[in-house]
Each structure stands twice: as C-alpha cells, then as structure tokens.
Structure 1
C-alpha cells in the first residue's frame, strides 16, 4: 500500500502539483483499463475463451488496485483523517487486489504452456468450466487471505486503541502490533511470489524445450515465449509495488526528505501505476482480435462524429 507520511515534508504547492499529476495519470490508466474491460465483455468470443477470461480478471484486479492506490494517495496528500476501521477495510481490499494479479499471471502462463506443449489437450483442459473454476478459486483465496490479514490487524494492544481511532497514514505497516501479523504478511507474500516465479519459469522452460521440436509452430512458440517473459516482468513489478512502502522507508534513510518525496513520486508512477496498465497496453497492441475490436469501435465513433458535424453544417 502506497501512502507514507514523507509527503508532508514538501511545500503545499508542490504537494498539490504532485497530487494533480498522479490523479491525471491514474485516471488516464483507469480509462484505458475500462475500455479494455468493456471490450472483453462486449463479444461472446471473449467471454467464452479461457485466455480472454483470465485476462479480464487480471485487468479487473489491476484496475481495482489502481483505484484504491489513487484513493489512498489522495487521502494521504490531502491529510484527510481516516477512521481506523475504514483503514482496515481499505487495507483488506488492497491485500485482496494485490494478490489477484500474481495468481492470474500463474494461470495465464500455464495456459500458454498447455497451448504450446500440449495443443491437442488444450481445448479439453482450458474449457470455460475449468477456467471459471480457476478464476473463482483465485478470488476465494484472495478473499481468505484478506480476511485473515484483517483479523490479525485487530490483534493489537489495548493501549494503542485510543491513538489509532483516527489516522492520517493508512498503511499496512502501521497495524503490525503483534509479531504474528507481520510474520503472516511477509510469509504469504514470499510464498506467493516464489510460487508464481517458479510456475512462470517452468512454463517458459517447457516452451523453450518444445520450441526445439521440428513439428512446432515457430511463430506461435515465439509469441508464447514473449508473453511469458512479459508475465515475468509483470510479476517483478507487482513484487516491487507490494514492497513499495518498505523500499521508500529504506531510501528515506539514505536521502533527504525532499529528495525522497520526489523519488517516491517517480517510482510510484513507474512501479505502481504503469504496471496496472501494462496488461491493457500489451494485449491491446499485441492481440489481433482485441486490436480489431477496439479500432473498429474507435473508427465507428469517429465516423459518427464526422457525420454529425456534416449534418450540423448542412442545416
């Protein structure tokens, strides 16, 4: 979760400009993701194809995480005092959405592995029913993790309660009052990302081995390898965004407060905002089916706009 209190060490004018910049960039990314989500629900082919079903849920998790991150950032910059209970709820939601993306990337990588290495079994393995079950499992695991984390946040000492009824800084690290809470958070993160990394690497190695076969479609194999590398990049960026607060806390010990804040804004855009829109950019540009639908809609709206202008001039 992003917010840290270092934003209070810059001038109000600079804080307002940084907040405006972050809000504009975030809303642009939210619009792009919204267009992709709408596109993936607009055609039956997208709704009933495993690859696009997984992509839709990956984008949904990223979009919710982006919206929550923007909300918490603006609350922090504006110094809005937040109730402790509300902060716990937002922390739970953030914990849920931050774990959806890594788990979806794992399933999407395995789907590419099956498509390339076992093409004859792909249709029977990646059915709509199986894909739906996998998606539901991911969201249920995410909800359970967020629920457990929320319960552990309530296990704090009674003498802390009065000082935490309201807070300016809604951050997971502020709720680790008992060792088991922080331990669970770190262990769950490490297990998730280690498992996800191994799964994607396994898929990549499997596709590389299959690529040496003479009977393999070289073009589709090359695309699968590129997709898996992008998944690995996305996973790395997700990991960095998960530990963003810890990274900024460490950097704050090495630099002045003002420099830390400026570095924070730059890293926030590169590590937190951009990865949440990376899937839309990747698949919107690389996937021919999605690209055709989006361009078709844009051209259709453009023709309608031009036609409206001509009619207005004629009248």
Structure 2
C-alpha cells in the first residue's frame, strides 16, 4: 500500500517542470496521432461490406478498437497524474487567471436586472426555436431513404447536427451566467473543447457543400461517381480532424502551461480560458485568418465557375445553374457570419478598451447575429429552398395526412 500511494507512482513524474511538460506534450501528440489512425482504419472497415464477413479483418478491427480504448484510458491516467503535480505559475498564466475570474466574463451580464431578463428571454426564444427546426429537419432526413443516400443531404444533416449542438451548449453557458453559476475551469475546458470543434465544423462543412454544388453543376457527368455516400462520410471525418487540430493544440498548451490550481478555480465558461499566453492569442488569430482566407478562395472559385457556367447554359440547364449560384451566394453569407463568430472575442477586446458603455450592447448584438442567426441559415438554404426536402417537411408536418405529399415523400 505504501508503494501504491507513493508519489513515485505518478505517470511521467519528474522533478524538473520543463522536462515534465515536454514529456506530457510528447505523450499527447503520439496518443492522438495513433488514435486518429485507428479511427480512420475502423471507419474503412465499417465502410466496406466485404471486410465484415472476413475473420481476419474482424479480428484486426477488434485489435484497433482495443488499442484505441487502451490509449484513451492511459492518456486519462497521464492527465490525472499531471494535474496532481505542482507547476510554477508564469506571468501569462497569472494574467489568464485574473481575466477568467473577472466578473466581466459573464455572458449577457447587465447591471439592470430587467434588461438582463429581457436579453436572456430573447436568447431562449431564438435558440429553442431554431433547435426545434433543426431537430425536425433531422427527423425528416433520417425518415427518408433517398436523403440518407445523397451526399448533399448527408452534409446538410451534419451541419444541422453541429448547429444544434453549438446552440444548446451556448445556451447552457448563457443560463449558467444568468444564474451566476461558477464551475471549475477543468469542467469548462471540456465544454469549450466541444464548442470549439462545433464552431469550426460549420464553415468547413459549408465549404464542402459549396464544392459539391460546383461538381454537380460544372461536372454533371462525374457528379454521381464523385459525390457518393462513402466520400461524404469521409469528408465529414476529415472535417472533424481539421476542426479538432487547433482545439487539441490549445488543450495541450493550457494543460502544460497552467498550474493545477488554475483548473480548480471557479469560472464562467468561454473559450478564452484555453488561451493562457499572449503568443497563443496571436496564434489563434493567425489560424482564424488562414481559415478565412482559404475558405474565401474556395467559395469565390466555385462562384466564378458557376457564373461562367450560367453564361454558357441555356433553357432548363440555365435555370438550374442560376439556382445553384443563388445557393452558393447564400452559403457565402452563411460562411461570412460563421467565420465572423471567430473574430468576436477580438472585436470585443477592442470595444472594451474603447468604451465600457458600448461593450454590453455590442456583445449582445454579436451573439445574436454571429452565433444564433448564422446557424439559422442552414434550414433556409437547404431545408426550405430545396423542393424535395420541403415537400417531405410538409408531409411530416401534416402527420402524413396528405396523399399528394405522400407520393412525393415516399
């Protein structure tokens, strides 16, 4: 029992804090690198029917699953052991702790209780209205086989799922702040981890949907072979991988840099608690700029190609190209709003330094415009404008009571 309770049993224990941080960072990089490989191979196994009936591949998939579980559990032990090791607090961490413990971090905070209640009520109405729409559209997607076999609708459903997740988690943060509920930073980090991935997921998925429309209109003969169900699922996995990279990097940095006392400190949840150093803030801005630039180039390229296709098209084909161009234009607006959400913290920092009076109204406007309404455009673009999907929606809204709609939805 003495040996088991001894501090020597801590994983990666070292008397040198720098050596400990280095070891911990190496473990995180290696563990998550191999987990991504295992998950991708498991996806390949489940995607092909021939592998399901082969004993060799079944055993191989079982090995991959067990290896992934062992890696995750081992990494959990490493994290737990790391949090029990005292690391000196640097100046940057102390600054982050002061920021995160400040009452200014309350979302939608206002000195006037009536104004705060009105703002919170507005958020609740908007969030749950759009969440209900998204859930109903997801129900429609899963209820019709034709939608589940179309790459465009698969990406659309993934967007709806991510938007609903982000809206619910954001609303949870709003409610926690409204009731002045402070929770430990370690719990907030888990919440911010999922929110960070969800925020990144939407613009990447919309970009994939723009490319799908480009292939459908500019390369119609190859569209059936390119836009398959398997490739849509593979695209979603790639989107998740790219969305997770920056969030995992921030998680590793805050885990290595911040002391254990930082994770036990009560706080209100926002992604800024994961940005504990000044250079990390700059890196966050740089990554956001790169994302915006790359996505803007892809969307402009697709739109330019559709413009050229519209000039060369005629008759019914011209109408289809024009509709695709309008869809792409709406995607551009949605992408702008989604990407603008990444810039909100930096806009608010500038406003806070200039005027405390303007800070609360600007933050509330940014929250409504860039967090809520940017997530409301997905149902408009594909759910209501798409003829087949809108007919299916009407069919299920009427509880399958219209024979004319039943013929279209079957």
Q: TM-score, normalised by structure 2?
A: 0.68
Q: Is the 8 A contact 1:81 1:166 kept in 2?
A: no
Distance across 2 between alignment mates of 1:239 and 1:143: 16
1:140 Cα offset (Å): 2.4
- How many residue pairs get aligned? The number is 298
Is 1:188 the counterpart of 2:279? The answer is no
Q: 1:130 — aligned with what? A: 231
Secondary structure, aligned partner of 1:79:
coil
Residue of structure 2 in register with 1:25 after alignment: 126
Moved more, 123-132 or 138-147: 138-147
Q: CA RMSD in A?
A: 2.2
Is the radius of gyration larger for structure 1 or structure 2? 2
- Distance, in Å, in 1 between the alignment partners of 2:351 and 2:401 is 48
Deviations 1:197-254 (A, max 9, x none): 1111110011111222145811011011111111110111012212222222322334
Deviation of 1:7 after TM superposition, in Å, equals: 4.0
Q: Distance in 2 between matches of 1:271 and 1:214?
A: 36
8 Å Cα contact 1:106/1:199 also seen in 2 = yes
Report the alpha carbon displacement of residue 301 of structure 1 after superposing the two structures with TM.
6.8
Structure-2 separation of matches of 1:265 and 1:127: 41
Secondary structure of 1:300's aligned partner: coil
Asked whether 1:117 is paired with 2:215, we answer: no
Tell me which residue corresponds to 1:282: 381
Which fold has the larger relative contact order, with Cα–Cα distance below 8 Å and residues 6 or more apart in sequence?
Answer: 1
Describe how 1:221-300 pairs up with structure 2 within 5 A: 221-257=321-357, 259-300=358-399
Distance 1:276 1:291, change over 3 A: same
**Equivalent in 149, 152, 158 of residue 57 of structure 1:** 158
Taking the aligned partners of 1:196 and 1:68, their CA distance within structure 2 comes to 25
Give the Cα separation in 2 of the matches to 1:146 and 1:163: 19
Q: d(CA) in 2 for partners of 1:95 and 1:123?
A: 33
User: Which residue of the other structure, out of 192, 195, 207, is the alignment partner of 1:94?
Assistant: 195
Secondary structure of the residue aligned to 1:228 is: helix
In 2, the alpha carbon distance for the partners of 1:55 and 1:194 equals 23
- Tell me if structure 2 keeps the 8 A contact 1:59–1:279: yes
Distance in 2 separating the partners of 1:163 and 1:111:
45
Residue in structure 1 matched with residue 318 of structure 2 by the alignment? 218
Gaps of 5+ in 1: 304-315
C-alpha distance in structure 2 between counterparts of 1:62 and 1:172, whole Å: 17
TM-score by length of 1: 0.87
Q: What's the counterpart of residue 311 of structure 1?
A: none
Change in CA separation of 1:163 and 1:112 when aligned onto 2, cut-off 3 Å: closer
Instruction: Answer yes or no: is the 8 Å Cα contact 2:275–2:281 preserved in 1.
Output: yes
Q: Secondary structure at the match of 2:351?
A: helix
**CA distance 1:177–1:265, shift in 2 (3 Å):** closer
Q: Which residue of 1 aligns with 2:62?
A: none
- Map 1:131-170 → 2, pairs under 5 A: 131-158=232-259, 161-162=260-261, 165-170=264-269
Query: What is the CA deviation profile of residues 253-307 of structure 1, one whole-angstrom value per residue up to 9, with x for unaligned ones?
Result: 34443x432343233222211111210122222001111011111223788xxxx
1:114, 1:23 → 2: CA distance?
39
Compute the displacement of 1:157 (Å). 4.5
Question: Could you tell me how far apart the structure 1 residues matched to 2:258 and 2:372 are?
Answer: 35
- Measured after TM superposition, the shift of residue 29 of structure 1 is 1.0
